[in-house]
Amino acid sequence: MPEHAVTEAFDVVDLIRAKRDGGELSTAEIDWLVDAYTRGVVADEQMSAWAMAVFLRGMRPREIADLTAAMIASGERLDFSSVGKPTVDKHSTGGVGDKITLPLAPLVASFGVAVPQLSGRGLGHTGGTLDKLESIPGWRARLTNGEFLEQLGGVGAVIAAAGAGLAPADGKLYALRDTTGTVECIPLIASSIMSKKIAEGTASLVLDVKYGSGAFLQDPARGRELAETMVRLGKDAGVGTVALLTNMHTPLGLAIGNANEVAESVEVLAGGGPADVVELTVALAREMLALAGRPDADVEAALADGRAMDTWRRMIRAQGGDPDAALPIARESETIRADRDGVLVAQPALPYGVAAWRLGAGRARKEDPVQHAAGIDLHAKIGDTVRAGDPLLTLRTDEPARFARALEALEGAWTIADPDGRVAVDDGGPLVLDRIA
């Protein structure tokens, strides 16, 4: 045996077999697996097999906690103790038209609370917060730790890209899951999200866990299981954690894309915007402020009197953006109109997310560029009365060849029924189904 060879503590094939057969891995085995994968000792195909075994067999709560801790230990941990303000973050499991982070972070920060929002990019039909903000001329997602802390202490809100040093094991495993059909796995989702959020160093966290057509987990019972798992992980790590179980059965708001979602977010900060976007922004802000020790904050007043907008403008400028600059506009558009009078009774979110992605608003691979002006603007929401010829939605892109495939995704994506009440509106229920703490 060469002198430099290292004898590993475990054999990865044994761990794959154990999980394949429904066994429980020890803390030491999980620690080794995550570390060995990060070091490159465990190959991608072996970790893929293990992830699929977890997908099919599940993990016990202790194993999920150990996996989360091991991924945190794979990298650095941030420390916000020098900021001098209570810190609270929010994480959404993603959906169609979900731009809530944009108005929410400055709204909460306007009450003297620090919001350290490390966000990601879109992949597939769910949009990415950083992609949306990069449609603002000059805005940059990458900050040094020093810049991040300075802005957090000064402005109070930062939305930025997470550095590569934060839970790097999760970064590797996340990319692997996306290409191996193991995304919709509660133990892997929960440990992925919570390892990053705990390593981030926030004192408290509000989770927006979505269910329905446009969510990764469509069944509300599965969404609840994920929410309960993540709340338990957060509390066990000493992070005050609350989750809202929210409805992603229909698109959120009227804008689906990047630049158009920024414009809609600014409308909310100006005291307007779609009712559902305002409702969810306010609900999440109240939860965040309560965890940060501001339970009596008048959230609606901060939207109405311009405080939240002022914080937004400072936040955008601090990261090189121009809050007054014109947002990009797509070169081509195509409007779809109602073919009959009636009530819009069905508008499932997933086809709209896929169509926006096909128009160029999203990416199929992490390295793909996005068109910031591409996307969909809805002119009618579920429950609205429409007349024949009324616009239902407008598709936007810089490449007209993309319209055909986007329209394919939208086949059957809305239903207009006679306004006699005999066909129920399929809205998936209330916007906020439950609170889990």
Please tell me the distance from the alpha carbon of residue 159 to that of residue 117, in angstroms, as a whole number. Answer: 5
Q: Does residue 213 have an active-site annotation?
A: no
Q: Does residue 196 have an active-site annotation?
A: yes
Contacts of 405 (CB under 8 A, 6+ apart): 358
- Count of alpha carbons within 13 Å of 135, Cβ hemisphere only? 28
358 DSSP assignment? I
Out of 91, 294, 372, 402, pick the active-site residue: 91
Q: Does residue 170 have an active-site annotation?
A: yes
CA dist list (Å): 259 to 5, 183, 312 = 53, 27, 16
The closest alpha carbon to 244, from 278, 274, 220, belongs to: 220
Please tell me the distance from the alpha carbon of residue 122 to that of residue 348, in angstroms, as a whole number. Answer: 20
327 DSSP assignment? P
Computed on alpha carbons and rounded to an integer, the radius of gyration of the chain in Å comes to 22
Q: Are 264 and 254 in contact (CB under 8 A)?
A: yes
Out of 170, 208, 276, 427, pick the active-site residue: 170
Out of 172, 177, 396, 402, pick the active-site residue: 177
Q: Are 114 and 83 in contact (CB under 8 A)?
A: yes
Q: How far is CA 143 from the centre of its chain?
A: 20
Q: Are 363 and 353 in contact (CB under 8 A)?
A: no
Contacts of 144 (CB under 8 A, 6+ apart): none
Q: Are 193 and 71 in contact (CB under 8 A)?
A: no
Angle CA 125–130–136, to nearest 5? 115
Please tell me the distance from the alpha carbon of residue 155 to that of residue 307, in angstroms, as a whole number. Answer: 12
Strand pairing report for 432-436 and 385-386: unpaired
Contacts of 278 (CB under 8 A, 6+ apart): 268, 303
Give phi and psi for 254, each to the nearest 5.
Answer: -110, -15
The alpha helices in 74-115, defined as continuous H runs, are: 101-109
Out of 196, 197, 314, 402, pick the active-site residue: 196
Q: Which residues pair with 256 in a beta bridge?
A: 376
Strand pairing report for 157-161 and 115-119: parallel
Out of 110, 192, 195, 265, pick the active-site residue: 192
Q: H or E stretch including 312?
A: helix 307-318
Please tell me the distance from the alpha carbon of residue 156 to that of residue 46, in angstroms, as a whole number. Answer: 43
Active centre residues (catalytic): 91, 170, 177, 192, 196
